Structure 1
Amino acid sequence: LYQRYRALAPQAVPHHFSDTADIKLPLELISQMPELKENPFHQKILQVFSEDKQEKMTFNDFLNMFSILSDLTPHHVKAYYAFKIYDFNSDNFICQSDLEVMLSKLTGDELSDEDVQMVCSKVMEEGDLDGDGKLSLADFEYMITRAPDFMR
């Protein structure tokens, strides 16, 4: 992974891993990677994994982002990051508006407003265990345990 990080900006990233402590690459550069470029959630993924609020990513951030894709990563860790990615308004819940954004990104606005509302209502009906109108991390984890393909 270090070589992939370095390949994004060879002039900025040293040949040796130990020299990277202060190196931060722009998120827009990382978003051009094939794994992210076509992903409808790429901007939110980069935001979640970048600890730098200046739109940059360290190698450690980069490593953390790609480690989530590993089959060896525990399901609860994958669920946590998936939850953070789907929480578009960053309020630590997945609410109706988050679901609407998610559906829009997944379907490219191919669903009618009525269909979007129906899907959102069904998700809330099945996942909102405490009936507060939003999904907590616990609600989300429960919901995805019933959809094993989600974690693949």
Structure 2
Amino acid sequence: MGNKVVTFTEQQLEDYQDCTFFTRKEILRVHKKFREMCPELVPKCMTGNEPVAVHIPREKIENLPELRENPFRHRICEVFSHDGRGNMNFEDFLDLLSVFSEQAPRDIKVFYAFKIYDFDGDQHLGPGDLEQTLRLLTGGELGPEEAAQVCEKVVEESDMDGDGKLSLMEFEHVITRAPDFLPTFHIRI
């Protein structure tokens, strides 16, 4: 009767539903997208340790239509990959798409946006992080002096404790006033 390939065990699907903002159907759609990037590497059946053992190279993930034009694609892959270099297993990829889904709450999106902008990983957005973020956002079209002025102004208006850098809480305070944050921090699957 049926030669249906089982992609995940029932337990895996339940676990993925519990730790993401996706339904079973969406999880299977994410797997299909993951497999299409590298069908020679990713098996149809992932009932063993394949979801964490099989990694797709960062270059393939960055080439997804949803990421290809994003100036932060490299950094997004680094933040969501367990290896920190952007190579992703299925669970990394599922986490990425879950955070960027419409169902993910604002505070989760803010947390990951902060991590993406925190290039040096020091848990603060300092002048270097802000300059790098601005350079990516503007395509490098601002001169060094203009960029420094913009970054200085951001810190001046957002740095509540006067330490010259933004904490997650200070960043969250700024982002909650940005009406276009939620619609732009989104990937449709």
TM-score (norm 2): 0.76
* Structure 2 letter corresponding to 1:2: H
Q: C-alpha deviations, 1:40-62, integer Å up to 9, x for none?
A: 11111000000124642110100
Query: Could you tell me which residue of structure 1 aligns to residue 41 of structure 2?
Result: 12
Query: Could you tell me which residue of structure 1 aligns to residue 156 of structure 2?
Result: 125
Q: Distance in 2 between matches of 1:143 and 1:55?
A: 28
Count residues with an aligned counterpart: 152
Contact 1:128 1:135 in 2 (8 A): yes
Contact 1:24 1:58 in 2 (8 A): yes
CA RMSD in angstroms comes to 1.3
Contact 2:79 2:86 in 1 (8 A): no
Contact 1:27 1:56 in 2 (8 A): yes
Distance 1:88 1:70, change over 3 A: same
Contact 2:80 2:86 in 1 (8 A): no
Identity within the alignment, %: 47
Q: Distance in 2 between matches of 1:119 and 1:10?
A: 44
Contact 1:86 1:94 in 2 (8 A): yes
Q: Which shifted more, 113-122 or 83-92?
A: 113-122
Residue 117 of structure 1: CA displacement?
A: 1.7
Alignment of 1:107-122 (within 5 A): 107-122=138-153
Q: Which shifted more, 78-87 or 44-53?
A: 44-53
Q: Distance in 1 between matches of 2:181 and 2:94?
A: 22
Aligned pair partner of 1:52 in 59, 83, 88: 83
Rg comparison, structure with higher value: 2
Please say if 1:98 is aligned against 2:129: yes
TM-score (norm 1): 0.94
Q: Distance in 1 between matches of 2:83 and 2:159?
A: 32
Please say if 1:139 is aligned against 2:170: yes
SS at match of 1:13: coil
Q: Which runs of 5+ in 2 are unaligned?
A: 1-29, 184-189
Q: Distance in 1 between matches of 2:85 and 2:147?
A: 34
Contact 1:2 1:17 in 2 (8 A): no
Residue 148 of structure 1: CA displacement?
A: 2.5
